[in-house]
Structures are given as C-alpha cells and as structure tokens.
Chain A
C-alpha cells in the first residue's frame, strides 16, 4: 500500500466480511425491491436521484434503509449476480439489508460486510471524491474502515 493512505477508523460490525471498492454515496435511501435491477445492475426507482447508477463492486454508503422486506431477496440476488455492492456502510442497523448479505454469505460464500459508522466517520465517507477507495474489514470483534484517497 502506498503511503498516501488518508484515513483509517473503526466502525461497528453488522455483518462480518471483507470488501473494498470505490465509495458510492446514495443520497437517498433505496428500496432494493422495486428500486434495483439485480440483473442489469442499476437503480431503477424513477424517484431516486441516482437512477441508472450501478452498485456493482462499490462500497455503498446508505444512511438508512427503506421499503419492503422483499429487498433482502433482491439484494441477495444482486450479490449472486455480481451486480451488488462489495461492502455496505450505514448510519443505522437494518435487518433487511443485513439479511440479504447474511443469506448471500450462507448460500454462495460471498461475503459482503455491513457496518455502521458514527457521525464523524460518516461525514468523511460521504464527502470522499469518486476516486477514493474504501476497504471494509468487519469481524466479530469490530470493523476497520480504511480510505485511500
């Protein structure tokens, strides 16, 4: 790793795993059911400001979840298809998002970690440039988030 690693901080583990990628901040909560096309890999909710964006391989930053519990299935299906995020960081714990990742891990052995960040970390993460790479290492004992600008 080069020595321009900008930041390294802790977060709370919701679902264990390791994942990295470019940060993608969803400016509004997304319901995966009815809001994400798990085959094409794009946001399809016409009311979402980032319609058309792909989550594939990204570290998805979403403050909180919304919508139907069927979102768990759509998220698990996106992870199976390779159209899902590589890691998820939120402000609030959410069972529906967590379940999608837990089931993908149990069925397909693909670990997409989920973590919750505090105010300070959230502010930094959501102001990152598109080029920044984020790495999430979530274990039972805690979660480490590293940002490389």
Chain B
C-alpha cells in the first residue's frame, strides 16, 4: 500500500496510541477492500454507540485511554438509551450502565452528541462532491444519493478509525467512475397526492433494494416535487431489503440531472418496469394486519422524523377532534425536538398524546410500553426489522392511516 509520510507517522505511534490503533485497523481494512491508498475525509458519522457487548466498549475505551480525538466534524448515530428521557428505558441495569458509558465515551473522543440516524437533517451537512466516512445504512444512502457527498458503506470500528485519522481507503463510491447507475427502475402511475403517497416511497425502496443486487439503481418516474423526506424513505427501505449505498432519481437527485448523466453515458444492464400493482404487493408482504385488528401502538420516525414530517403529523392530528386511543411514538433527534419545543409544536403534539423518543429508536431498544401485539408504522425500515428485533407484528400504512388507526384503536386502511 502507498502510505503518505503522515500516514506512516500515524501508524508508528508518533501521533499517540489511539491514532496508531485506528491506523492499523484502517490499513488492514484497506487491504481487504483492495485500496492502494488512503484519502482525506472531511466529515464522519459513527454508528458505534449502540451497545452490542463488551467488545464495543473495550474498543472505544482503548481509544479514550490512548488520547484519541476525532479530527473532523463527527456526528453520532443512535445509542441504546434515550439520554433525554432515560425513564423510558425498560431493560436491565447492567445493560443500561454499559450502554450509557458507551455513548459518553464517544463524546469524550470529541464526537458531537447528536445521537441521530438522520445526521443529514442537521444544519451543517456534507456538500456535493465532499469525501466523507459515514456509517448507518440509511445515512450512507442519503449522503451519496441526495447530498452527492461520497462515502462507502462504513460501519462499526471503521467509522471511528476514519474520524480519528481523517483518512479512508480510496475505493468504491469515493471514486467518480463507480457512482454511475447501472440498472433502471421505470415507475409508472406513482401517486401524486402528498398525504397518501408516503408509504409508496418506502415500498418502492424495498422493491429496489431487493432487485438491484450490487448495482447502483436509477429510479425514473417519481413526482417532480418529491421531497427529501420521501427520498429518505426510499433510501432507508432499499438499504434494509438490500445493500444499496446509493441511488439516483432522475431529475431529482444531484448526480442524475438526466437519465444519461446518471448512467454515465452508458447503456443500462437492465430496465425494470414498476407499477402500482408491484408496490401493492410489497406493501402486502410487510403487513400482518387486516382492517379492524386491534392496535397496541403506532411508531413513526425510522429514520428520525424531520421538522416537515412533524408538521404534517400535527396537521393530520388536528383534523380529528378525538384523542389517541393507543400509544403514539415519534422517534426523532434531540435537535429536532428542541426546535419543536421552541416553536410550541412539541407541546401541541404531546397534548394530542404523542410521545417523543430521542437519541435512540423504538425498534432497537426496549422503550415502548407494549411490544406484544400489533404495532403500526409508515416506515419500510421499521416494518422490515422490527418483527425480528423486538418480536412485534406490524401493520404498515401511510402516516394518515397511522393517525386514523391510533384514534380508532384499530387498523384502518384507506385502500384495501
């Protein structure tokens, strides 16, 4: 491998024990990836603060003891605890203290206490063409696709090594030639009405993730006014059902001004037509509920709810004069919650009965009061992972249907 003088200094311990450990892991990983050299990165997002056992903690403590500090702006993904609402935690004391220490140790390394899976909703976010090292599958796909920043699919350990050294292996999506789409999904008949279309983006993402394999997908035929939140839903779902790290949406995402640009001037390897029947089929596979089934809770905000999504939720809740009959959880970041508190929106949503979960997510840690029974979501990612993670049954519907169902206390779908 071709290492710079500074890389060699990092490796030989001149920059401290933590940097040397990070550099060893980075160079060994670069060899696995087949990279010839490392490049500078300008931003990192770390997924290591979710507690998976002693090894998670040992790694970070070793970096703390070795005087490690991040050298680029670094955000943190969700942890196992809601540090703002710790009373919500329903797990054991030992897990709680280890999980809390893991989150705090990351802050000692200089990471920002963001604890969100949607770091792209923060004020400072990567720009088009910037080299970054991000972890968390939905954040990776959003950064590459919607922001046009460049990251590979980093994960546990590697992300922190990149943040401590400011370096990453030069390969994969860091290189322009590897960012073109190779397979086209031609969508026809996609719904245009804003309030009803949210779950179809997630359903489309699940379909794309399943069928694109290792190729970068190009999606054509989305509404011209497709929002960032809707692109977020596609990305999160496609990275759940497959290993998508980037997609293009023709005329919408920054590296897909046209189909030809997204393809890099080449012919696609395949063109797959997608219509509403295909998407209805996806929706049906995620749904284990029938209209009228009793509901125990609703959970939305996977990935974390944005300000715009909270505003939509408030508008939908305000349409009904009746109270919520079941628990209604909104997972979001502490930053979004603070903004909602400032504007008064948080109080209004809480008055409707909404419970905010920050710093974590309802499907990775015990925070919901009831997990036996049917829980409704509009998130393709939540619907995909929650049954295995926390043993729930899932009803899958639009945000509008989630609100109506939560008021009725039973599953209501607009479209059968």
Report which A residues bind B (CB closer than 8 A).
Answer: 14-15, 33-34, 38-39, 45-46, 68-70, 72-74, 76-77, 79-81, 93, 95-96, 98-99, 102-104, 106-108
Contacts and interface: CB of A to CB of B under 8 A. Distances in A.
A68 B24 CA distance: 23
A102 B53 contact: no
B257 to A, nearest CB: 31
Given A34-B389, A70-B47, A95 B58 contact: no
Interface string B23-36: 01100110011100
Contact of A103 (B33, B55, B153): B55
Given A14-B32, A95-B33, A99-B25, A69 B135 contact: yes
B174 to A, nearest CB: 14
Contacts of B56: 73, 77
Contacts of B59: 76, 103, 107
Given A34-B389, A106-B24, A69 B154 contact: yes
B52 A102 contact: no
Contacts of B156: 69-70, 72-73, 99
Contacts of A98: 28-29, 32
A96 B25 CA distance: 12
B268 interface: no
B106 to A, nearest CB: 14
Given A77-B52, A77-B53, A103-B55, A70 B28 contact: no
A68 B25 contact: no
Contacts, number: 85
Contacts of B38: none
B52 A73 contact: yes
Given A69-B153, A72-B157, A102-B28, A77 B21 contact: no
Given A14-B32, A69-B47, A106-B24, 18 more contacts: A34-B388, A38-B53, A68-B137, A69-B135, A69-B154, A74-B53, A93-B33, A93-B34, A99-B29, A99-B32, A99-B156, A99-B157, A103-B59, A103-B157, A107-B55, A107-B58, A107-B59, A107-B62
Contact of A104 (B34, B50, B55, B388): B55
26 contacts: A33-B52, A69-B137, A70-B50, A70-B52, A70-B156, A72-B157, A73-B52, A73-B55, A74-B52, A74-B53, A77-B52, A79-B55, A80-B54, A80-B55, A93-B32, A95-B158, A98-B28, A99-B25, A99-B155, A99-B158, A102-B29, A106-B21, A106-B24, A106-B25, A107-B58, A108-B58
Q: Which of A14, A77, A93, A95 has the most CB of B within 10 A?
A: A95
Q: Which of B24, B53, B389 has the most CB of A within 10 A?
A: B53
Contacts of B29: 95, 98-99, 102
Contact of B32 (A15, A38, A77): A15
Contacts of A77: 52-56
Contacts of A45: 388
A76 B154 CA distance: 16
Interface string B45-76: 00110101111101100100000000000000
A17 B137 CA distance: 30
Nearest to B53: A77
Contact of B28 (A15, A73, A79, A104): A15
Contacts of A93: 32-34
Interface string B204-241: 00000000000000000000000000000000000000
Interface in B144-160: 153-158
Nearest to B28: A102
